[in-house]
Amino acid sequence: MALDWRRLTDLTGGKDFTIERVRTLDDGIAIEGDFAPPPLAGLDADDQAFVAAFIHCHGSIKQMESWFGVSYPTIKGRLKRIADRLDFAEVADAPPPPVDTADVLDRLEEGQISTEEALAELSP
């Protein structure tokens, strides 16, 4: 029986690990060696689920706000924290994405964010 990825994350407790054996389920072919796990495997189960939800939402922070019941800055903060843990993602050198002013104003009007949050998002 295959080990659930969430259980693997619990067992490693956030420590670095390698994978020494891989076996295909259909035909049982096994390969042994020293394989580095994918970068996302180093995240805890909650962060992996958060990344999966973000991908499922096609990167829509607005939909993530609705799903998780939190504000835009909370989603952005968690994404930044996760990105900082992933070595392969060079986020610091990337220019900031343009602000969708209409989206910010819509969320302000709908009461999803405060005036302070809207001003923070619209400020360079």
Residue range(s) defining the domain that contains residue 118: 98-124
Burial of 113 (0-12, 13-18, 19+ CB in 10 A): buried
Within-domain flag for 105: yes
pTM of the model: 0.55
Q: What is the pLDDT of residue 39?
A: 80
Please report where in the chains the tokens 């609705």 appear, as a residue: 66
Within-domain flag for 55: no
Give the C-alpha separation, 55 to 90, whole Å.
19
User: In tens digits, what is the pLDDT along the chain, a chain of 124 residues?
Assistant: 455 555 666 777 767 778 888 888 889 899 998 888 788 887 888 898 899 999 999 999 999 999 999 999 999 999 999 988 887 645 556 677 788 899 999 999 999 999 999 998 888 6
Q: What is the pLDDT of residue 98?
A: 84
Within-domain flag for 120: yes
Give the C-alpha separation, 115 to 10, whole Å.
40
How many domains are there within the chain?
A: 2
Q: What is the pLDDT of residue 89?
A: 47
